[in-house]
Chains A and B, each alone.
Chain A
Amino acid sequence: MTVTTRPIRSEPTVSPAAPSGLVAPVSGEIGVGRADADATPRRREGPEKLTGAAKYADDLVVPGAWYGATIRSTEAHARLLGIDLDPDFDWSKVVVVTAADIPGENVVSLISDDQPALVSTEIRHHAEPVALIAAPDRATLRGARRRIRLRTEPLPAVFDPLESRQQFAHFELAEGDIDAGFAEADLVIEGTYRVGHQEQLYIENQAMIAIPRDDGGVTVQGSLQCPYYIHKALKRALALSGDQAVVVQTETGGGFGGKEEYPSMIAIHAALLARRCGKPVRMIYERHEDLAATTKRHPAIVRYRSGVTHDGRLVAQDIEVIMDGGAYCTLTPVVLSRGTIHAGGPYRCPNVRIRGRAMATNTPPNGAFRGFGAPQTEFAAEMQANRAAEALGISPLELRRRWVYREGDTTPTGQVLRESVGGEEVLERAAEASGFERVRELTRIGRHARTSRQRTASGIGLALAWHGAGFTGSGEVKLASVASIELTHDGRIRVLSASTEMGQGTKTIFPQLVSQELGVPYEAVEIAVPDTSVVPDSGPTVASRTAMVVGGLLIKAARRLRSLVEDATGRTFADSYREYAASHGGARVDQRFEPYPDVSFDDDTYRGDAYPCYGWAAAVAEVDVDLDTGEVAVRHVVAVDDVGKVIHRVLAEGQVEGGTLQAVGYATIEEIKLQDGRYLNDRLATYLIPTAMDAPHISTILVEKPFSGSPHGAKGVGELPMDVGAPAVVAAIHDAVGVWIHDLPASPERILAALAAKGDARAGTRPA
C-alpha cells in the first residue's frame, strides 16, 4: 500500500437540520490506524452465505405462489398481428397477460420511454417479451407455454450499427485545434478497433417474486441493484402510488450492472401476473432465458487517429466511437457519454476531437456492465498508445511516463485535474511490481532465440486507465440522494440506505464507516434491508459510487448524530447514546447529497468537470500463447488501482481481483455470436467465462490518492480493473507473437488469422 497524500478533509457542512455547535471530529479519527488489517471487520452477511442460510430470491418459500413465464419473440423485427391461444388447451388454470392488460403506461421507465413492458404492435428484437403467463404449478405452466402462438409479419431488420439510421445519442468533445495538432505530428497512428457483447454472468440468474398487497398494490422481492429504479417503473406501469409499490432486495448473487435495468422489466411482469391471478408470482429466470434476453455490454467500433512527434509527444487525437445500443435506449446515452469522455485514455493531449454516437439495431438492448462504456474505448486508447510506442521505438512504459495526466492537466471536456491524480503512481507501481522492463527484455530475447520446435511464446503487456468516479456530469446533483442513520428508541443504531449488497461489501463497509465515526464497535451498527418502504432513495448501486458517495453521506450523517447526542448529554456518543435514545425516543439523521465544492459541468455543451475526480488503474499481464492452437493462457496480472482511500482491504482487493478476471475473460474468451439478431451461444455451455484453471495469479496493489470532496477520501473501486485488463492482455499477446489483435476477444481464431496474415504461421520463430 502507498499513502502518498494525506487526506484533505473538508469540514462537514452544517445543514439546517443539524444542531448548532456541531463539532467536526478530529480528522485522524478514520485514519489508517483504525482501519488496519486486524481491525477490519469480517463480511457482515458472511456467516449466512457460508452456511446456506442466506436467502436469495429463489430460496424464498412463498405459500400459494404461482409460477410465471414470459412468452418472447422469435424474430428480430416484426409486426405483432395477434397472440393465439390453442383452443384445445384447458386455459382455466392459467392466467395470460398481454399489453392490453397493463393498467398504467406500457413502458419500462428509464431514460427514454421507448421500451414497452410487453410488445403491443411492433417486435424490435429477438427474445422481446410479448405476453406473460402464470400457473399454479410448473407442469401446467410448461404445457401452456407450448400452446401460445405469436402471429407476426416480418419487417426488415438492421443488425449493423453502421447501417442504422436511428441514433439514441451522440456527443462531441473538442479541445485545442485538431488540424494544427496533426500538422505538428511526425507520425500518425491509425486504427479501427471492435469489441463485442459481454454478458455480466452473475451466477444467480435474474429473479423476482411479486406479492399482491391489501392496498391494491404489490410488493416485489428480488435480485436487484437499484430498488428505486424498480419502484419508479412499477408505479408507472401499474399506475400505483408510491406506497402501493414496495421493492425489497433479497440476497443478490452478483450484478455487475446486469441487475441495474432489467430487474425493472421482470418486476413489472411479475407484478402484472400477480395482479391478474391475485396470488404471489415467482419469476425466476433460467440461465438460457437470462442469457438470451437480458442486457449485455455494448459492442463498439472505435476509429482512432493519433498524431505523435518524433520526440514522443502526443499532439493530436481524433476519435470516433460507435456503440450498438440494441433495440431500445435503456441506459445507452449514459454509457456512450462515459465511453466518449474516457476515449482519449489517461493522456494529456492538447488537440483532441472525440465524437461518439450510439445506434439502434434489432438486437436485444445493451446496458450497464462494470466499466459502463469506458472499457470499450480505453481498449482502443491503449492499443493506440502501444502502437505509438512501437512506431517510435520506445518502451510502452516510457511512452506512458511522458503522456500520463498529471495535476494541472486539462481533459477533453476542459476539466483541469486539480487533485487526486494517481496515474503516474499506479504506472510506476505496476512496472516495479511486475519487473516490467526486465521481463520484457527476457521475452524479447526469447522471441529472437525461439526455434521452430518451441510452440509456446511468452509475452508481457502493460495498460493504464482512468475512470471517472461516481456519476457523469451533474448526475449526482440531480439525483440528490439521501442516506440516513437512525437511533431507535430502544438504543439500536441502524443505517438506512437503498445501496444494495451484491457481493461488493456494502453491508460491511457502511456499518464500518459509521461505527468508526460514532466511536462504537462495528457490531453495534445494524444495516437495514433495502426496502423502499423503509429506506430513503440513496440512488442506484452503480458507477462505483456506493463507497464514495453514499459512504460519504453516511459519514456526514454519523457526525451529525454524534454531535446531536454529545451536545445533549455532555458525554461521548458511545457512553451516552442508549440513554439519549431512551430519554428522547430516538433520533434520525437524513443526509442529502450536496454538490462537491468547485465542481461544475454544463450538460448542454459537455464542458467542465465531467467527474469530481478520477480513479486510476494500471495492469501488467503476462501470457503464454500456444502457436499451434492460438490459445492464450494469462499467467499473471499485476493490478494496481488508486481508489482514493481503502476502506476495507480484503473487500477492495476482492473487487480488483474479480474485475481483473472479468477483464481477462473479455480479452480472451467471452464472445457472443449473433445470427439474424439472435444470440447463438445463449447457454453456459457455449458462453464461456474463466474457470479457476484459466484464471491468472492476480497481485493487487492499492494506492491511495484521497479525494478531498468525500469525507473519507474514497473514490470507488468496482469498475477500475475492468478498464485495463483487456488491453494489457492484448499487449502481452503482441509482445509474445508480434501481431496486434484489434478486435476483442483475442480468440484463438483471431490470433491464428493474424499470424497467418502476417504471412508466417510461425511468426513466433522470427523477431517480431
Chain B
Amino acid sequence: MTYHLTVNGEPVELAVPGMRRLLDALREDLGLTGTKEGCGEGECGACSVLVDGAVVDSCLVPVCQVDGSTVRTVESLVGPADGRLSPLQEAFLDAGGAQCGICTPGMLMAARAFLDGGGEPTDEAIREAIAGNLCRCTGYTKIIEAIALAAKRER
C-alpha cells in the first residue's frame, strides 16, 4: 500500500506496511533522524512531531493514520532559504534549553505548536504545553525560559 504525505513541505510517497510507525518511516525510510525514540510507548515525547499542526507521539501513530496529512519534524525548523536557526532554536541556544539534546527535537515541536497556537506564554501555559515531553537534564527551567524568550522575540 502506498501512502501520500507532506513531510517538511515536500510531498512524500511511502510504500510501507500501514502499521509501520510514523517514527520509523521518518527515521528509517526518510532518513529524518532528528526525531528520537525514548520509550516507544507514548510516555516521553522524544518522538513528538506535528501532524497537521498538532503535536503527536510519532511512536504511537501508524503510517496509515496519517495518509494525506502534513507532517513537520525538527528538520523543518531552520530557515528554508538560508538554513539558519529559527528564533525558537536561537532562544534555546541562548537560554540553555538543550543539554544532552535528546529531548530537544520533541520539545521544540511541542513549543512550535504552542507558539503557533498564539496562547499567552505564561509559565503555567508553557508547562502545560510541554507536559508530554520528558527532560531528565534541565529540570525544565531553561526550556521554559527559552520558550518564553522565543515568544517574545517572535512577536
Q: Footprint of B on A, CB under 8 Å?
A: 42-43, 45-56, 58-59, 61, 200-205, 251-256, 286-287, 502-505, 650-651, 653-654, 657-662, 683-685, 689, 691-693, 695, 697-698, 700
**Chain B residues within an 8 Å CB radius of A657:** 138-142
Closest CB-CB distance, A693 to chain B, in whole Å?
5
Contact for A254 among B37, B123, B137, CB less than 8 A: B137
7 shortest A-B CB distances, which residue pairs? A52-B34, A253-B102, A503-B100, A49-B101, A503-B99, A657-B139, A661-B139
Of all chain A residues, which has the CB nearest B83? A51
Chain A to chain B contacts (Cβ below 8 Å), 14 pairs: A45-B101, A51-B74, A51-B77, A51-B85, A52-B32, A58-B37, A200-B136, A202-B102, A251-B101, A654-B139, A683-B41, A684-B38, A692-B131, A697-B141
Report how far A204 CA is from B100 CA in the complex, Å: 9
**Chain A residues within an 8 Å CB radius of B44:** 203, 287, 684
Report how far A200 CA is from B134 CA in the complex, Å: 13
Report how far A698 CA is from B138 CA in the complex, Å: 11
Q: Known contacts A43-B98, A45-B101, A52-B35; decide if A692 and B127 are in contact (CB<8 Å).
A: yes
Contact for B131 among A255, A256, A505, A693, CB less than 8 A: A693
Of all chain B residues, which has the CB nearest A256? B136
Of all chain A residues, which has the CB nearest B142? A654
**Chain A residues within an 8 Å CB radius of B135:** 203, 692
Of all chain A residues, which has the CB nearest B132? A691
Answer whether residue B116 sits at the interface, using C-beta atoms and an 8 A cutoff.
Answer: no
Q: Is the CB of A52 within 8 A of B100?
A: no
Q: Known contacts A51-B89, A684-B39, A692-B143; decide if A46 and B100 are in contact (CB<8 Å).
A: no
Closest CB-CB distance, B155 to chain A, in whole Å?
21
**Chain A residues within an 8 Å CB radius of B89:** 47, 50-51
**Chain B residues within an 8 Å CB radius of A55:** 33
Most buried by A among B77, B95, B131, B142: B142
Q: Is the CB of A654 within 8 A of B99?
A: yes
**Chain B residues within an 8 Å CB radius of A256:** 136
Q: Is the CB of A287 within 8 A of B131?
A: no
Report how far A2 CA is from B12 CA in the complex, Å: 56
Q: Is the CB of A204 within 8 A of B36?
A: yes
**Chain B residues within an 8 Å CB radius of A654:** 96, 99, 137-139, 142
Q: Is the CB of B102 within 8 A of A287?
A: no
Q: Is the CB of B41 within 8 A of A42?
A: no
Report how far A58 CA is from B139 CA in the complex, Å: 25
Q: Is the CB of B34 within 8 A of A658?
A: no
**Chain A residues within an 8 Å CB radius of B115:** none
Closest CB-CB distance, B87 to chain A, in whole Å?
12
Answer whether residue B58 sits at the interface, using C-beta atoms and an 8 A cutoff.
Answer: no
Answer whether residue B128 sits at the interface, using C-beta atoms and an 8 A cutoff.
Answer: yes
Report how far A438 CA is from B126 CA in the complex, Å: 30
Binary CB contact string for chain B from 14 to 40 against chain A (1 if under 8 A, 0 otherwise): 000000000000010001111111111
Report how far A683 CA is from B75 CA in the complex, Å: 29
Q: Known contacts A55-B33, A287-B39; decide if A46 and B75 are in contact (CB<8 Å).
A: no
Q: Is the CB of B33 within 8 A of A685?
A: no
User: Could you count the A-B residue pairs with CB atoms below 8 Å apart for me: how many are there?
Assistant: 168
Of all chain B residues, which has the CB nearest A652? B96
Of all chain A residues, which has the CB nearest B94? A42
Q: Is the CB of B102 within 8 A of A56?
A: yes
Contact for A658 among B41, B43, B128, B138, CB less than 8 A: B138
Q: Is the CB of B93 within 8 A of A47?
A: yes
Contact for B136 among A287, A653, A662, A697, CB less than 8 A: A662
Q: Is the CB of A650 within 8 A of B104?
A: no
Closest CB-CB distance, A671 to chain B, in whole Å?
16
Report how far A657 CA is from B78 CA in the complex, Å: 28
Closest CB-CB distance, A55 to chain B, in whole Å?
7
Report how far A692 CA is from B111 CA in the complex, Å: 13
Contact for A50 among B35, B46, B104, B136, CB less than 8 A: B104
Q: Is the CB of B40 within 8 A of A287?
A: yes
Answer whether residue B7 sits at the interface, using C-beta atoms and an 8 A cutoff.
Answer: no
Binary CB contact string for chain B from 63 to 90 against chain A (1 if under 8 A, 0 otherwise): 0000000000111011000000100010
**Chain B residues within an 8 Å CB radius of A61:** 31
Report how far A671 CA is from B96 CA in the complex, Å: 29
Q: Known contacts A51-B89, A56-B102, A657-B139; decide if A685 and B127 are in contact (CB<8 Å).
A: no
Report how far A502 CA is from B98 CA in the complex, Å: 11
Report how far A77 CA is from B140 CA in the complex, Å: 41
Report how far A508 CA is from B17 CA in the complex, Å: 43
Closest CB-CB distance, B30 to chain A, in whole Å?
12
Q: Is the CB of A253 within 8 A of B36?
A: yes
Q: A50-B93, A200-B136, A691-B134 are in contact. List 16 more A-B contacts (CB 8 A).
A: A50-B85, A50-B98, A51-B74, A202-B136, A203-B44, A204-B36, A254-B99, A254-B100, A503-B137, A653-B96, A657-B141, A658-B139, A660-B139, A683-B43, A689-B136, A692-B127
**Chain A residues within an 8 Å CB radius of B100:** 202-204, 252-255, 502-503
Q: Known contacts A286-B40, A287-B39, A503-B101; decide if A51 and B140 are in contact (CB<8 Å).
A: no
Report how far A692 CA is from B122 CA in the complex, Å: 13
Of all chain A residues, which has the CB nearest B96? A650
Closest CB-CB distance, A397 to chain B, in whole Å?
24
Most buried by A among B36, B44, B126: B36
Of all chain A residues, which has the CB nearest B98? A49
Q: Is the CB of B36 within 8 A of A684?
A: no
Report how far A463 CA is from B114 CA in the complex, Å: 37
Report how far A200 CA is from B103 CA in the complex, Å: 15
Q: Is the CB of A52 within 8 A of B94?
A: no
Q: Known contacts A504-B99, A653-B142, A657-B142; decide if A203 and B38 are in contact (CB<8 Å).
A: yes
Contact for B134 among A251, A651, A660, A689, CB less than 8 A: A689
Q: Is the CB of B102 within 8 A of A52?
A: no
Q: Is the CB of A203 within 8 A of B32?
A: no
Q: Is the CB of A54 within 8 A of B142?
A: no
Q: Is the CB of B142 within 8 A of A49?
A: no
Of all chain B residues, which has the CB nearest A656? B139
Report how far A253 CA is from B106 CA in the complex, Å: 13
Of all chain B residues, which has the CB nearest A654? B96
**Chain B residues within an 8 Å CB radius of A204:** 36, 38, 100, 102
Answer whether residue B108 sits at the interface, using C-beta atoms and an 8 A cutoff.
Answer: yes
Q: Is the CB of A43 within 8 A of B96?
A: yes
